[in-house]
Structures are given as structure tokens and as C-alpha cells.
Amino acid sequence: MTNEFRAMLDRFIPVYLDDILVYRRALEDHLEHLQRVLETLRRAKYKANRDKCKFVRQELEYLGHFVTPEGISPLSDKIQAIQESSKPKTATNVRSFLGLAGYYHRFIKGYLKIVAPLSKPQCEDRPFDFDDNVRTSFLALKAALLFAEVFSIYDLLLSTRVTTDASGYGIGVVLEQHDGVDWHPIEYFSKKVSAMHSIDDAWKKELLAFVHALKRWRHFLLSRRQFQWVTDSNPLVFYKTQDMVNSTIARWMAFINQFDLFPDHIPGKSNRFADALSRRPDHCTAVYLTFEINDDLRDSFIRGYKVGPDFCDKYANCSSPNPAPSHYRIQEGYLLVHSRGKDLLCVPRDLYLRTRLLGEFHDAPATGHFGVNRTIGRLRERFWWSGLLDDVTRYCESCELCRRCKSRNHRPYGELRPLPVPLRRREAIAMDITGPFPKHKTGVDGILTVVDRLTKFAMFLPCRYHAKAPELAEVLYAGWIRTKGYPKEIVCDRDTRFMSDFWLALIK
């Protein structure tokens, strides 16, 4: 369904599975858009149930919310169901209750602080205990949902501000808009900072809170002409005038500079909403990278799509007048694949292109020479190609600067020592599996090689290359042990198939 309405998404419709909402301020525009939606459904051979459809409404229920011109609020029957929930008697009951209540967490200030005691009864390593703290949290969450605020609907034309605050262990932000009379909340958001950021300076955590707010509400704020950033950390008002910053702050500033904003300072006592939200939990990350593609690179992409083995068939299919349905599409000459809820740019098998991308996301001054996992995470935000993990791993391991400057995060390797020479033949053997080879009609495609370490006598036993431990134990017993006897010592490369299951099968 998302593929069919891709050109209309976030312009005048959202789509969730088979639920479609068409919205517009003017009735004439709304009827025109409604006609386009119905025509798209007809072309895609979908049918809409007339009894379930509602047309030209100003108030409606959508995905558990009640939407009106005044704002968005939770459905009253859902809140009533939560209010009538009985006391949980098992950990499963607690999880079920939190699953329903957590759906409306954005309407509750300090949600995670309220529900923190309810995580204790869910631990599997301790008996279920519904003590006074848990009961208080259970009742407080019910009360908070009963008095949940009505959120205003975001309006691109109204004045907007983002208020941030940070505590020793959490960050809190509030998105608000002014309707000409007063400020009204659009959404609350709070997050627990990681141990790495919990020891940072207060102003750095305030900046991190703002970066998280921009990432969460980027779809609201990036297209705005200007909005206000309110913080109780006065140094952040002058964050652009700092002479020297570390690589982390530089990346955050590069991300913030994408937005049109002006910072403003208020005393901490006046910043009560964001301050309350910052006194509770979740996780941390904050970087968004941009990579501009010029005309030369664009030509390299298109040429790679047409001749490369990875995407030539998909590019030809999408270029045809009647393409077969797929997750791929072409936009401005680029091949995009819809994955994990967003469109990713496919990168053809071109050594120059992939090396250039890896350099931009690993070597560039704003990227900080991150490790394999963080480099992969950034690339997967915008790009996709087969073998990305292997390419990033090889590139990071071959980075001269990383190898010279980064400390090792593992214990020193052990010294190489020769194995003692056996005293008798057949006393010690070495074994390993080689292959895979072309498969024989019997299904055999590997060789279990067994070598006497003293005499170097070798025996090559046919086996399946991907055989499990019990099967390999049977091959070794039938081919070597039955005729040569049990050795006192077996040397192998610690293949997972030569671990406990292998020895259990061998001694049966």
C-alpha cells in the first residue's frame, strides 16, 4: 500500500497498513485529493469497504486517537479500558498493561519516570512481587492517562519553539507552537543518556538534548523558515562562537546548521516542562551525515547500474514502460530500494564509488574515524549494497590512522609456541575439514583430513562439508579410531563443530 501512494505520502495522506487518512484545509483541495486516492486504489485493483469509509469529517478516530480541529487526544474507550485494568498478578499481566498504556506515552509528561518501578516485576530472575512502590506506579500511570493533555496539531504557519533540558542521567524536550494567545504542546519527548554521556559537562548534555530533538522532529523543523530553541544553559546561546571544539561537538554543530533557528536563554526555574521530562530514562546516539553527489558521481552511478552484475536486471526492469512490481524504483536516474521503512540509494559494484563513500563516512574530519559498527550504521541510513559489512570491515581495518592512533580493545595475543613432539605414533593427531568441493552423487562435498603428528601419516575421509558434530564424530570413528585406536591428543582449530557436541557423540 505504501508503494502505491508513495508520491502522496506526508503531502496530504498518511498510510498505515490498510488505513488511509486524507486531510486538507480547503474543501475543494480535499475533494481533489480524495479523487486521486480513489483513482489510485482503482488502478491498483484495491477495493474500499463503503461501510468502513468516512468522508468529509472534521472529527474522527484514527489509530487509537481522536482527531479534532482542536487537537489530538487518546480515545476515551481505550483510556477507560486502562482505568478498569485489574491489579496485575503475573509478569505477563504487567507487560500487557504497559503495552496498552505505553502506546499513549507521548501524552504523558515523565512517562518513563512513572513506569520505572513497573519494570521490577518483569524480571525473570526474581519472584513476582507487587509491592507498594509498584502499586503506586500502577495507580499513578492510570491517573496520568486519565488527565492526558490534548496535543495541538502541528501547523507550519505558526511560531514554533523547542525547549530542552538535561539532568545527570536524562534529557527532556518539548515541541510547542503559539496560536496567537498562548503556547500549546505538540509532543513531549525524554530519553536516558548513556553512561558515556552521563559524565559530560552540563552544556554538552544540553546540546545533545537539542540534537535528539532535531532528529526526532526533523520532518517538522527542517522545512521551517525559523524556529526558537529555548535552553537554560546560557553558554549554548553562543555555541557558534567557540574557538575550539572536539570532533563530537563539531559533528553535532554540522547537523544543527542544517536548520534555521535562533537560540534563546531562560532561567532554569522557568524551564519546568523540559526540566521535568529530563528526570527520567532511554538511550543515546546523535549524528546525521550528509553526502553530496555531483554530476560526475551521478554518471558513475548510472553507468554502474547498467553494466554491474548486482543491479543491471533491476535497473532494466524499473526503466521499462511496464515494470514488474518490486521494492526498487528509479528517481532522477538513481536506483532506490525501499527497506526498513525508507528509500535507500543502491551503490553499484564500482571500486571508486564504494571507496569514496567509505572514505566520506569514515575518514572525513566530521566523522571521527569511528569503528565498524558505527560506520555501518551511518551508511545504512542512506545507502545499500550487497557485502556492505565486509567492505566496511576491510576498510576500517586497513585505515592507517586508526591502526596507528587507536588503542587495542582486546587482550594481547598469546605467544606462538611449538607443540611438543609425540613419543609414539598414533598418540597425537591433527584434524581439519577442507572444502567445499563439487558435490558427489552421494552428497559428499568435503574431506576430513586426519594426520599423525609424529609420522605425518595422513588419512583423507570423505564427509559432507557442512556436516554437524555427531556426523563428523561418526566419520572419525569409522575412518581412524576403529583401525588405529583412540589417540591421547587431538589438535584442531576450535571449529564450533569440534566443541562439546562432537566429544559427546564420540564417547557414546
Could you read off the pLDDT of 232-287 as tens digits, one per residue? 888 777 777 776 677 778 888 888 888 888 888 877 555 554 554 554 433 333 33
The mean predicted confidence, pLDDT, of the chain is: 80
Specify the pLDDT at position 454: 92
Across 470-478, average pLDDT: 89
Distances (CA, A) of 370 to 178, 324, 406, 461: 41, 40, 10, 46
Specify the pLDDT at position 138: 82
Strand order in the sheet with 227-231: 183-192, 170-178, 159-166, 227-231, 261-265
The pTM is what? 0.42
Tell me the backbone φ, ψ of residue 183, rounded to 5 degrees: -85, 135
Of 186, 236, 240, which Cα lies nearest the Cα of 209? 236
Specify the pLDDT at position 453: 92
Kindly tell me if the per-residue pLDDT of 289 is higher than 50: no
Kindly tell me if the per-residue pLDDT of 490 is higher than 70: yes
Specify the pLDDT at position 283: 33
Across 349-375, average pLDDT: 81
Specify the pLDDT at position 143: 80
Specify the pLDDT at position 452: 94
Kindly tell me if the per-residue pLDDT of 447 is higher than 90: yes
Specify the pLDDT at position 366: 59
Three-state DSSP at 109 gives coil
Count the alpha carbons within 13 Å of 86 in the hemisphere toward its beta carbon.
Answer: 3
Which of 116-130, 208-222, 311-325, 347-361 is predicted least confidently? 116-130
Which of 7-16, 300-309, 311-320 is predicted least confidently? 7-16
Per-residue pLDDT reduced to its tens digit, 125-183: 566 677 777 888 888 887 877 666 667 777 778 889 988 887 766 777 888 888 888 88
Q: Which domains does the chain have, with CATH numbers?
A: 1-56 (no CATH), 74-147 (3.30.70), 159-278 (3.30.420.10), 286-405 (1.10.340.70), 428-507 (3.30.420.10)
Specify the pLDDT at position 270: 55
Give CB contacts under 8 A, 24+ apart, made by 403-408.
405/369, 406/369
Of 95, 152, 149, which Cα lies nearest the Cα of 122? 95
Three-state DSSP at 502 gives helix
Across 87-105, average pLDDT: 78
DSSP letter (8 states) at residue 406: S
Per-residue pLDDT reduced to its tens digit, 188-225: 887 776 655 555 567 778 888 888 888 888 888 887 77
Specify the pLDDT at position 372: 85
Confidence band of 458 (pLDDT split at 50, 70, 90) = very high
Kindly tell me if the per-residue pLDDT of 321 is higher than 70: yes
Burial 18-53 (b: 16+ CB within 10 A, else e): eebebeeeeeeebeebbeebeebbeeeeeeeeeeee
DSSP secondary structure string for all residues of 254-287: HHHTTS-EEEEE--GGG-HHHHHHTSS-------
Kindly tell me if the per-residue pLDDT of 450 is higher than 90: yes
Contacts of 259 (CB under 8 A, 6+ apart): 214, 221, 222, 224, 227
Distances (CA, A) of 299 to 192, 294, 388: 44, 9, 22
> 3-state secondary structure string, 26-77?
CHHHHHHHHHHHHHHHHHCCCCCCHHHCCCCCCCEEECCEEEECCEEEECHH
Specify the pLDDT at position 373: 85
* Contact predicate 145/114, CB 8 Å: no
Beta-ladder partners of 177: 160, 184
Across 15-28, average pLDDT: 82
Confidence band of 459 (pLDDT split at 50, 70, 90) = very high
